[in-house]
Amino acid sequence: MTNSNFAVPMENRYFEDYVTGSVHELGSIAVEEAEMIAFSKRYDPQGFHTDSEAAKIPSALTRAEKAQVLLVNISQDTYGFWRPYVQQMIYRYLDCGDLHNGFARVKCKVRGHEYLPTFFCKCAAFNR
């Protein structure tokens, strides 16, 4: 992808600069299954990340429940009295999941997955 499709360079680009329906190819990388599982075991060792059979079962957890699990995991021993601050920042980040804040569509052609992750967050704590 080149900057020729945009009036502004990438480092100054915001959600409003993207045209609805446009597709931008960013290239691809190959990641081996063993490498993905090793990463997951180290940074997020939940069954649906480390066990291919468990990954086939749709998760019933909502974003807020996942955030609670993450909050407990990262703040149990590490953050101590910072826990309320970390919790507030996580919830502010989750508020950015509102559709009016913008989403980008991410497709994985190999696995046939498609996601709509938060693309732009208007929360002051997460802007650059």
Residue 18 belongs to domain spanning: 1-60
Domains identified in the chain, total number: 1
Cβ 92 vs Cβ 123: under 8 Å: yes
**pLDDT value of residue 8:** 74
**pLDDT value of residue 51:** 81
**pLDDT value of residue 121:** 52
* Residue at 103 is within a domain: no
**pLDDT value of residue 125:** 46
* Residue at 93 is within a domain: no
**pLDDT value of residue 1:** 40
Cβ 40 vs Cβ 50: under 8 Å: yes
DSSP state of 10: G
* Residue at 17 is within a domain: yes
Across all residues in the chain, what is the average pLDDT?
A: 67
Task: Say if residue 78's pLDDT is above 50.
Answer: yes
* Residue at 28 is within a domain: yes
* Residue at 43 is within a domain: yes
DSSP state of 102: -
**pLDDT value of residue 3:** 42
With bands split at pLDDT 50, 70 and 90, how would you rate the model's confidence at 127? Answer: very low
Query: In percent, how much of the chain has pLDDT > 90?
Result: 0
Average pLDDT over residues 2-22: 71
**pLDDT value of residue 49:** 76
**pLDDT value of residue 82:** 65
Task: Report which secondary-structure segment, H or E, holds 46.
Answer: none
